[in-house]
Amino acid sequence: MQDHVEDNGANMISLPSYLFLSFIMFIAGLVVMVARKNIIAILLGVELILNSAALNFAAYTRFINQNLEGNIMSLFIIVIAAAEAAVGLAIVIRFFQLKESVHIDDATQLQA
Amino acid sequence: MSPTLYDYVNQFEAHQKAVAMLNEFFGTDVTGYVTFLVFLVGALIVVGVMATIGGLGTYAERKISADIQMRQGPNRVGPFGILQFLADGVKMILKEDIYPAQADRLLFNLAPMLAIVGVLATLAVVPFSSGLTLANLNVGVFFLVGISSLVGVAVFLGGYSANSKWSMLGGMRGASQIISYEVPITITTLTIVLLSGGLSFGAFVETQGGLPHQWYIFHNPFTFIGFFVFFIGMLAETNRAPFDLPEAESELVSGYHTEYTGMRFGLFALAEYIEIFVLCGVAVAAFLGGYKVPFDLGSGVIFVEKLGLPAIIGKNIGQVLQLGSFVTKTLALYYVVIWVRWTYPRIRVDQVMTICWKYLTPLALFNLVGVTVWMYLTHNQSIWELFSHLFAAAGSGGGH
Amino acid sequence: MASYTLDVYMPVVILMAIGVLLVLVSVFLAQIIRPFKPSALKEQAYECGEDPVGTAWANFNVRFYVVSLIFIVFDVEGALMFPVASIFRRFVEIGEGGVLLGSLLIFIAVLVFGIVYCWSKGDLDWVRSFQLSQEQINELKGVEDKA
Amino acid sequence: MFQDILFICSAILVIAGTLGVVFSKNLMRACTLLLGTLFGVAGLYAVLGADFLAASQLVIYAGGVIILMLFAVMLTGGSADKANKFGIEKIMGMGSVKTYVIAGLTVLVFSLTIMKLLASFLKGYQKLDELPAFTSTVDKIGTMLVTDHVLAFEISSILLLGALVGAAVIARPRRG
C-alpha cells in the first residue's frame, strides 16, 4: 500500500512508557479522591483511576498478547465508567437537593 | 482505490520521482516529511476553502433571506455585495475585545478554541472525493460523532465562563439541545453503518452508486425516513432555526455568545458555518451517494478509453467530477438549511425536547430495527433490486 | 485485512494544530490593531442596561441533568452497537445474520425499555406537569369544603 | 517518527491535564482539564493501534461524561452564597507539600518494588521486534462482542438500563 518503511516495529515507545503514564493518572486520581472534599471532584478522581486501568489493558494487549481481549476489557471499563458517572452524579444532585451541600463530610446519614 | 490524500498523490510518477530525488539529495529517507508536507498543504487548502465557504455562507444567508423576504440584501461591497463577508471579517478584527468583569478568563478564551478545533478536526474525515479525503479513518463516522461533541462543550463553556445570565441560559440550552439531538443522529448513522458494513466514509460512499436509486436514501423505506430524521437532527445540532434556541435573539439577546466581542465572536460564527457544511457533507456521504458520479465517470476510465486521454489526466478529470458532485449536493443541502431557517418560526424549548425525545428518537430506533430486519429478510437488497427481481419473475412467468 | 500506519492520524493532528493556531494568531493579530480602552461600564455583563444582579452561576433546574443522563446511556449503547453493526452486512452475506439479528434486537429492546420507562414517568417532558389526579383534586375539594 | 510525536503530544496532554485536575482550585476548570486528559488517553489508544477504543473514548468521555459533569457542577455548585466557591476544599493535613512529597516517595518505592517483581514475568512475553502491523480493530471487536463476549454485550445493556432507571429515579425533580 505504501512504499515507505513501516515504522511500527521496535522504537523508543514501549510498554513502560504507557505504564508510567497510567501510573501518574492512577496516583493523581488517588490524591484527588483522598484530598478533595467536593463529591464531584472525587468523581473526577474516580474517572482518572478508571482511565488509567483501561489504558493499562490496551497497552498490555498491544505489547503482550495481541489478541484484543484487553481492548474489550477497556471498552467495558469505559462503559461502566459512564454508568458510574451517571448514577454517582445523580446521587450528588439528590444529596445537594436534600442538604444544600456537596461536601463529603455532610453525608453522614443513609436516609434523608 | 486510494484511501487518503497521500496515497492519491503517491500514485503519480512525478511525485515518486521527486521523493526519490529528495531521498538522494538529503541522503536519508524523507518520505515521512513529504507525507507531512502533503497533508499540511492539503489541510491548509481544505481549511482555507472551508473558511471561505463559511464566510460566503454568511453572505448566502443574507442574500437568500433577502430573496425570501423580497429585499435587496447586501449589495454595496464588491459586485452584488459578495465581498461583504470580508468587510465583516475586517470589522471583527478591528473591534475591541472585552472581557466581562466577573468572567472566568481561562475558560472564556478556551471556549472558541474548542469550538474551532472540534469543527476543523471533523474536516479530516469528510470525503470530498475519492482522492481528496484527508484521512480515511477506519472509525470515520464514529470519530466524527466524538470529536464534534467538543462543540457542545465549547457552547457550554462559552455560556458559563462569561458569568452573564443570558449567556448561561443560552449555554445550558445549547449544550442540552446538542447532546439530545446527537442521539437520533447517532442512531440514524448506525443504520447506514449496518447497510455499508463499515464505519469509514470510504465504505459509506463506495457501497453506493452514482444514480439516485443506488443512494442509501432510496435503499428502503426506513432509510428514506432516516434521512429526514438526520436532517432535522442536523439543524438542531448546528443551532439553526427553527432550533436556534441557544442564540434566540428575541429572548436571550444572543445566547451563549452574548458577551463575546470581536474576533472570538467571529470564530464562534465561523465554527458554526463550517459545521453546517460538514454535517451537510456527512448527510450527502451517508444518504445521497457522496462523491459518486453517474455512469462511473468518477474513476476516469471512460475518458481514457473513449477519448484516448493519458491515464493521469483521465483520473484527474474523474476526481474533479467527483469533487463537483459532492460539493453540488452539499451546497444544495446548505441552501435548504438556509431556506428552512427563513421559512419556519422558532419553536419553544419544551417543543425542542419533545421533538427530539418523543418523535425523532423513537423514529430512529424504529428505523434501526426496520433496517436490521430488512437486511436480514432481503439479504442486503435494495427495494429496486427487489422490484427488478419481481418484474423479472413476472416477465418470465408471463412468457410461459 | 489491510494494515495501516499511524500516518492516517496525521491530518487530524495537523487540523487540530491549525485550529489552535488560527485562534491564537487571529486573536493576537487583532490585539495589535484594535483599540483597547476598558472601562467598568464596558466590562459589565449585559443585563438589558441594568446593573447585573448577583451572579449567573446559579443553581439550574435538574431537568438538564436528566436529559444528559438519557443521552449518555444512548451514547454508550451506540458505542457498543457500532462495531456489531459494521459486521452485520458480512454476516448476512454468509447467511449467519440470524444470530446477530437476535442479539442486536435484544440489545435494542432493552434500550427501548429504558426510554419507555422514562417516557411513562415523565422524564422526557421538559415542563413537568404536576397535574393532580382526580382523587387528589376531590380530596383537596373535600378539605376546602370542610374549611 | 510520527508515532513518537503523537505519543509525546498525547502524553503531554495527559500529564498536564492530570496535574491540572489535581491542583486546580476551581471545579469547572478541573472538569475542563479532565477533558484534556481524556483526549490524551484517546491519543494514546490511537498510538496503541486501538482505533475503535480511541473513538469510543472520544464519544463516551469527551461527549458524554464531561458534559454530565459540567451539568452536575452547574446544578450543585451555585446556590447564591457559594456562588464563586466552585473551589475545592481540602483536608487540613493533606494539603501541604510535605504530605504530598512523602506520599509520592512512598508510592514510588512501592510501585518500583512491584514493577521489579513483575518485570521478570513480563520479560517472558515481551517481543518488541515483532509487534504486528496496525489493522482495523472495529471488525474484530464486533465479532468478539457477538461471539465470545455476547453475554457481556447483552448484560451491559441491562447495566445501562439499570443505571438509567436508577439515576432517573434518584435525580427526578420532586414536588415541593
Task: Indicate if the alpha-carbon torsion angle B322, B324, B328, B331 is positive or negative.
Answer: positive
Are B106 and D55 in contact (CB < 8 Å)?
A: no
Sort out which chain D residues have CB atoms less than 8 A from B174's CB and list them: none
Number of domains in chain A: 1
For chain A, positions 31-70, list CB contacts with chain D under 8 A.
31-32, 34-38, 40-41, 43-45, 47-48, 51, 54-55, 58-59, 61-66, 68-69
Selection from B341, B331, B350 nearest residue B56 by Cα: B331
Q: What is the pLDDT of residues A14-73, one digit of tens each?
A: 777 888 888 888 888 888 887 777 788 888 888 899 999 999 888 888 877 778 888 888
Q: What is the phi/psi pair of residue A103, to 5°?
A: -85, 130
Q: Which residues of B339-357 are buried (b: 16+ CB within 10 A; e: fewer)?
A: ebbeeeebbebeebbbbbb
What pLDDT band is residue D88 in, cutting at 50, 70 and 90? very low
8 Å CB contact of B31 and A1: no
- Average pLDDT score over residue span C15-31: 85
Quote the minimal CA–CA distance from D92 to chain B in Å.
Answer: 27
Taking CB atoms and an 8 Å limit, are C75 and D63 in contact across chains?
yes
pLDDT of residue D122: 66
Residues 6+ apart with CB under 8 A from D176: none
- CB atoms C73 and A86 under 8 Å: yes
| Range with the largest mean pLDDT of A9-18, B362-371, D69-78 | B362-371
CB distance A9–D131 less than 8 Å?
A: yes
Q: Which residues of A touch D36 (CB under 8 A)?
A: none
Query: Does the pLDDT value for residue C147 go beyond 70?
Result: no
Annotate A32-76 with DSSP letters as a single string: HHHHB-BHHHHHHHHHHHHHHHHHHHHHHIIIII-SSHHHHHHHH
Count: domains in chain C: 1
Does residue A3 belong to any structural domain of this protein?
Answer: no
- Distance of alpha carbon A93 from alpha carbon D168, whole angstroms: 11
Tell me, what CATH number does A60's domain have?
1.10.287.3510
C69 interfacial to chain A (CB closer than 8 Å): yes
Q: Which residues on chain C are in Cβ contact (under 8 Å) with D80?
A: 54-55, 58
Q: How confident is the model at residue B351 (pLDDT cuts 50, 70, 90)?
A: confident
- Show the domain range for C119: 6-47+60-128
Q: In terms of C-beta density within 10 A (0-12 exposed, 13-18 middle, 19 or more buried), how is residue D127 classed?
A: exposed
Residue B163 phi, psi dihedral angles, 5° rounding: 55, 40
B107, D28: Cβ pair inside 8 Å? Answer: yes
Residue pairs between chains B and C whose CB atoms are closer than 8 Å: 230
pTM of the shown model: 0.86
Residues of D within 8 A of C117 (CB-CB) are 164-165, 168
Segment 19-48 of chain A within 8 Å of chain B by CB: none
Q: Binning pLDDT at 50, 70 and 90, where does residue B155 land?
A: confident
Partners of residue D42 in chain B, C-beta under 8 Å: 146
Q: Which of residues 102-121 of C touch B (CB under 8 A)?
A: 104-105, 108, 111-112, 115, 119
Selected residue with higher pLDDT from D143 and C125: D143
User: C116 Cβ partners below 8 Å, 6+ apart?
Assistant: none
CB contact D153 to A (< 8 Å): no
Residue D87 predicted with pLDDT over 80 = no
Does domain D1-89 fall under CATH 1.20.120.1200? My reply is: yes
The share of chain B scoring above pLDDT 90, in percent, equals 0
Distance from CA of D143 to the nearest CA of A (A): 11
Q: Is residue D157 a contact partner of residue C108, using CB atoms and an 8 Å limit?
A: no
What's the 3-state SS for D84-112? CCCECCECCCCCCHHHHHHHHHHHHHHHH
CB nearest B32 (choices: A1, A3, A4): A4
pLDDT for D81 equals: 41
Chains that touch D (3 or more CB pairs under 8 A): A, B, C
Phi/psi of residue D90, each to 5°?
-120, 155
Q: Please give the residue of chain D at the shortest CA–CA distance from A70.
A: D50
Q: Chain B partners of D71 at a C-beta cutoff of 8 Å?
A: 172, 175-176
Contact call for D71 and C65, based on CB within 8 A? yes
- D57 to chain B: nearest residue by CA? B146
Q: What is the predicted pLDDT for the residue at C146? A: 63
Lowest mean pLDDT among B70-79, B172-181, B264-273, D93-102: D93-102
Q: C28 — contact with chain B (CB < 8 Å)? A: no
C-alpha distances (whole Å) from B364 to each of B4, B182, B360, C58, C112 are 31, 11, 6, 35, 11
Average pLDDT on B228-255 reads 79
Question: For residue D21, which amino acid is it?
Answer: V
Contact D7, A15 (CB under 8 A): no
Q: State the pLDDT at residue A3.
A: 38
- From C33's Cα to the closest Cα of chain D, the distance in A is 31
Using an 8 Å CB-CB cutoff, list residues of chain D that contact chain B.
1-2, 26, 28-29, 32, 35, 42, 51-52, 54-59, 62-64, 66-67, 70-71, 74, 136-138
Please state whether A3 falls in left (phi above 0), alpha (psi between -120 and 50) or beta: alpha
DSSP state of B267: H
Q: Which helix H or strand E contains C3, and what residues bound it?
A: strand C3-4
**DSSP 8-state symbol, B74:** S
Amino acid of residue B332: A
Please name which of C21, C20, C29 lies closest in space to residue B94, comparing C-alpha atoms. Answer: C29
Residue D57 to residue D131: CA distance in whole angstroms: 24
**Residue from A3, A8, A47, A91 whose CB has the most chain C CBs within 10 Å, to mutate:** A8
Distance separating alpha carbons of residues B150 and D66, to the nearest angstrom: 10
The answer, for A6 touching chain B at a CB cutoff of 8 Å, is no
Grade residue B390 by pLDDT with cuts at 50, 70 and 90: confident
pLDDT in the model for residue A111: 64
Residues C97-145: tens digit of each pLDDT:
788 888 888 888 888 888 888 888 777 777 665 556 677 777 777 766 6
Q: Do residues B188 and B364 touch, judged by C-beta distance below 8 A?
A: yes
Query: Largest alpha-carbon pair distance within chain A?
Result: 68
CA torsion angle C9 B266 B339 B167 (round to 10): 100
Q: Does C136 map to a domain?
A: no
* Residues B245 and B155 sit within 8 Å (Cβ to Cβ): no
Chain D residue at shortest CA distance from C122: D172
* C32-66 pLDDT, tens digit each: 887 777 777 777 777 776 777 666 666 667 777 88
pLDDT per residue over B67-120, tens digit each? 888 888 787 877 877 888 888 888 888 887 777 777 778 888 888 888 889 888
DSSP state of C117: H
Contact check, Cβ <8 Å, C22/B267: yes
